[in-house]
């Protein structure tokens, strides 16, 4: 089910032809705040400001290798997956149509349009956008780019291998769960490298589908109300991702929007990096579990930095509530 080390290393060749590896840094102020050695994997430093681009590059390379004549591709997103699709589709001169929910991030929408995608707003959440995209794919004979796929996981796993090889003997790593490719990639990399690192999943307290599914060991839909962590706003879990999570995740931590906001401020104060809500969720969970970390070596993924200016300003000045 999960990609092997050979597959991840093949994916790395594709990824590194388009972008360099991202850094992982141990920031002294964050170490001081958490009372441990904490490393941050900076996926906010990719060419689209989020980890998703790695999977998109690998997926589209496979499409190109098949030499299929595509009328175009379509997908659904809250933003980062759409930028990944847009960048990779432009690389191979394939028209791309992206469906986003109404009231989606204006700046993420603008970034996708700048990559040449045609944008459609439909539905009140990601699931509604996804269902609409699937309908349009059938009607227009477009290739539906999924949000979860083995090739996407292999591409994303390249950052996980960078981290696990770059920081040996990590005891715990926190990874946010949107639809599941990021945490599946971390589990794949850990298993492929034979590491003993504990993988902890992180979800929003206001989007509990994966937390409830993890607890009950069955798929559970859950309403979404997060106003800050849009990348975690999943109403319906993906069945393949759930199988990986059930087998490979040690526990799942839920974080509130207020905790995410505090983590975003901490990231800015301690590292001067910008994080979107989902990007700071892993640190929010590590801060919540600070009591577990004394004397340990841990890591968090800063999975993306794409956030609207006004929203980020309200987080920094404390007016977000």
For 10-69, what is each residue's pLDDT tens digit?
Answer: 999 999 999 999 999 999 999 999 999 999 999 999 999 999 999 999 999 999 888 775
Q: Confirm whether 321 is domain-assigned.
A: no
Q: Which of 9-23, 75-89, 179-193 has the lowest mean pLDDT?
A: 75-89
Q: Looking at residue 67, what is its pLDDT?
A: 73
How many Å separate Cα 219 from the centre of its chain? 20
What total of structural domains would you count in the chain? 2
**pLDDT tens across 132-151, in order?**
999 999 999 999 999 999 99
Q: What does pLDDT average to over the chain? A: 95
pLDDT at res. 1 = 78
Whether the pLDDT of residue 181 is over 90: the answer is yes
CATH number of 87's domain: 3.40.50.1100
For 97-100, the CB contacts below 8 A with 24+ separation are 97/72, 97/73, 97/133, 97/136, 97/140, 97/142, 98/74, 99/74, 99/75, 99/123, 99/129, 99/130, 99/132, 99/133, 99/136, 100/76, 100/129
- Say yes or no: 244 and 308 in one domain: yes
pLDDT of residue 71: 85
Both 132 and 169 in a single domain? no
pLDDT for the residue 321: 66
| Same domain (yes/no): 86, 209 | no
**Residues spanned by the domain of 274:** 5-51+150-316
Tokens matching residue 227: 């106003």
pLDDT at 69: 59
Q: What is the pLDDT of residue 83?
A: 93
């Amino acid at each position: 089910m999960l990609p092997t080390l050979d597959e991840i290393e093949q994916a790395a060749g594709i990824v590194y032809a388009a972008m360099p590896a991202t850094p992982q840094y141990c920031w002294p102020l964050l170490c001081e705040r958490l009372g441990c050695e904490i490393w941050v994997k900076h996926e906010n430093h990719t060419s689209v400001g989020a980890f998703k681009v790695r999977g998109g590059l690998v997926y589209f390379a496979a499409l190109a290798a098949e030499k299929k004549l595509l009328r175009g591709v379509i997908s659904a997103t809250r933003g980062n997956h759409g930028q990944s699709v847009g960048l990779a589709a432009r690389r191979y001169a394939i028209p791309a149509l992206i469906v986003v929910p109404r009231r989606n991030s204006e700046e993420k929408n603008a970034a996708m349009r700048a990559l040449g995608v045609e944008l459609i707003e439909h539905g009140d959440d990601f699931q509604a956008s996804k269902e609409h995209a699937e309908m349009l794919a059938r009607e227009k004979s477009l290739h539906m780019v999924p949000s979860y796929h083995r090739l996407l996981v292999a591409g994303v796993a390249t950052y996980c291998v960078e981290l696990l090889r770059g920081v040996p003997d990590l005891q715990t790593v926190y990874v946010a769960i949107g639809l599941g490719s990021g945490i599946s990639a971390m589990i794949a990399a850990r298993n492929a490298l034979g590491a003993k690192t504990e993988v902890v999943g992180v979800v929003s307290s206001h989007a509990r589908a994966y937390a409830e599914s993890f607890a009950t060991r069955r798929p559970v839909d859950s309403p979404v109300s997060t106003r800050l962590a849009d990348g975690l706003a999943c109403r319906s879990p993906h069945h393949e991702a759930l199988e990986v999570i059930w087998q490979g995740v040690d526990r799942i931590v839920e974080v509130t929007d207020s905790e995410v906001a505090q983590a975003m401020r901490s990231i800015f104060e301690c590292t001067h990096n910008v994080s979107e809500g989902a990007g700071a969720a892993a640190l929010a969970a590590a801060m919540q579990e600070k009591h577990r970390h004394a004397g340990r070596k841990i890591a968090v993924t800063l999975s993306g930095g794409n956030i609207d200016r006004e929203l980020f300003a309200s987080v920094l000045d404390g007016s977000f509530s």
